[in-house]
Amino acid sequence: MQPVVTENYKKNILDTLPEGYYPVMEKFYTIQGEGYHTGKPAFFIRLAGCDVGCVWCDVKESWEASASNLISVGDLLKDVEESKTPNVVITGGEPAAYNLTTLTNALSAKGYKVWLETSGAYPIQGNFDWICVSPKKFKPPVDAVLQKANELKVVVFNESDFKWAEENASKVSSVAKLFLQPEYSRFDRVMPGIIDYVKRNPQWAISLQTHKYLNIP
């Protein structure tokens, strides 16, 4: 499966979105399984559309955006309210391909903590309480986004990803949280190296996709 090229879906979807609507692949209430907020309840809004094309992506069905799955901000707010959680995660896909200001302002006005999960490939439009940047070599992050990151989470697929992690860590703020996360299918192969690296470089911590190990949907 090839990623949808951003310029194509921009012409067909992004530039023609009705005001207050977003292409949503799925929405669900669960436990955040990885990164700084691991273990916290959160309502996830997964926006459709991505051209980053990570080979290990476990939600490739989120790559394509279409007008058939547009949902209004009002309806999304109702779903969030039913969950009773104070935390909302906007993820993808690549959510930063969209102007998220309308959605984030509406959530913030209701008192929700709004967390963003992004590759950093596009400038961020919206207001967030926490920004997690997980940079990908396939489409490198924008420096301005890295500077806004509260959390840098680098997926380790092979040895060269440690260098990639340090390259990006040099661009985030001194207070950003740094995480190395094993690519799930290569856990046994890369985990010993991650453990050794973190022990030698204690500014880093380890993130695991705990939801997969605990079978949390």
Residue 1 within any structural domain of the chain: no
pLDDT (average), residues 59-88: 86
- CATH code, 123: 3.20.20.70
Q: Is residue 73 part of a domain?
A: yes
Residue 26 three-state SS: strand
In angstroms, the CA 99 to CA 214 distance is 34
pLDDT in tens, 119-164: 999 999 999 999 999 999 989 999 999 999 999 999 999 999 999 9
Whether 154 is in a domain gets the answer yes
Q: What is the pLDDT of residue 164?
A: 98
Q: What is the mean pLDDT of residues 168-186?
A: 97
Which domain does 106 fall in, by range? Answer: 6-213
Kindly tell me if the per-residue pLDDT of 6 is higher than 90.
no
3-class state of residue 166 by DSSP = helix
Model confidence band, residue 56 (pLDDT cutoffs 50, 70, 90): low
> Structurally, how many domains does the chain consist of?
1
Q: Among residues of the chain, what percentage have pLDDT more than 90?
A: 76
- To 10 degrees, the CA torsion angle through 126, 148, 191, 197? 180
Nearest residue to 91 via CA among 139, 136, 137, 59: 59
Do the domain assignments include residue 65?
yes
Report pTM.
0.90
Each residue's pLDDT tens digit, 38-48: 999 999 999 99
For residue 125, being part of any structural domain is answered with: yes
| Cβ-based burial of 97 (10 A; exposed 0-12, middle 13-18, buried ≥19) | buried
